[in-house]
Structure 1
Amino acid sequence: MMSPQIEKLMERTKSKFSLVTLAAKRAREITEYSGNLRMSEVVGPTVQTVSTKHLSVAFEEIAADKVRFVAKTLEEVRAEIAERQRLEDEANALAASEETQEEQA
């Protein structure tokens, strides 16, 4: 039997997709925290647990209402896409500039 129960977890999110996304993201954060010997900017586990599996810890945090799913607005998503595109364009321009300098040398 799963602990915490799925019904309790579903009370914290709007859908199963949101629950799975939140739990997976949080489990990755806990993994990063553990892998960096607690020197990461990511917050470590926020609940006392006997579980050693990061996904189980994430589910326990969700059930304890320590972690929440916050959906991004359309404007936030568009801003992120624009920023990624800007960074990609900047990286491509830098790479092209370096290639030109190498050819001239």
Structure 2
Amino acid sequence: MEEDRGIADPPLDSLLSRSGSKYGLVIYAAKRARQIDQYYIDLHEGSFYAHVGPLVSVDADDKSLTVAMREIAEDKLDLKSSAAE
């Protein structure tokens, strides 16, 4: 039986240690969540390869922001490169 995840999973402290600032983390996660949303819209419309889908395993009820935070926590994304943009 799978254990329920908490409301802040992954823990915010671990995410902040990767980003350096709360503001940077929020902006980056929100941008990535929009990319994930657009990926699913494109997938539904039959348009492939326009956006990158989730880089971690996803449950049917996971929100895109949760997926983005898990990608950051699992080092699937590089936050340093987005700071220069």
Name the TM-score, length of structure 1 as normaliser: 0.63
- Once residues 34 and 49 of structure 2 are traced to their aligned partners in structure 1, the CA distance between those partners, rounded to angstroms, is 12
Q: 1:6 aligns with which of 3, 12, 26?
A: 12
Residues 11-37 of structure 1, C-alpha deviation per residue, up to 9 Å, x if partnerless?
210100010011000000000000001
User: Which residue is equivalent to 2:23?
Assistant: 17
- Once residues 78 and 50 of structure 2 are traced to their aligned partners in structure 1, the CA distance between those partners, rounded to angstroms, is 18
Q: 2:58 aligns with which of 33, 49, 55?
A: 49
Bigger RCO (CA 8 Å, 6+ sep): 2
Across the aligned residues of Structure 1 and Structure 2, the Cα RMSD in angstroms comes to 1.6
- Once residues 53 and 40 of structure 1 are traced to their aligned partners in structure 2, the CA distance between those partners, rounded to angstroms, is 21
Larger radius of gyration: 1
Shift of 1:60: 0.4
Q: 1:64 aligns with which of 50, 74, 82?
A: 74
Shift of 1:49: 2.8
**How many correspondences in the alignment?**
73
User: Which residue is equivalent to 2:4?
Assistant: none
Show structure 1 runs of 5+ residues with no match.
78-105
Name the TM-score, length of structure 2 as normaliser: 0.77
In the alignment, structure 1 residue 30 sits paired with structure 2 residue 36: yes
- Once residues 55 and 26 of structure 1 are traced to their aligned partners in structure 2, the CA distance between those partners, rounded to angstroms, is 8
Equivalent position SS for 1:3? coil
- Identity score, percent: 41
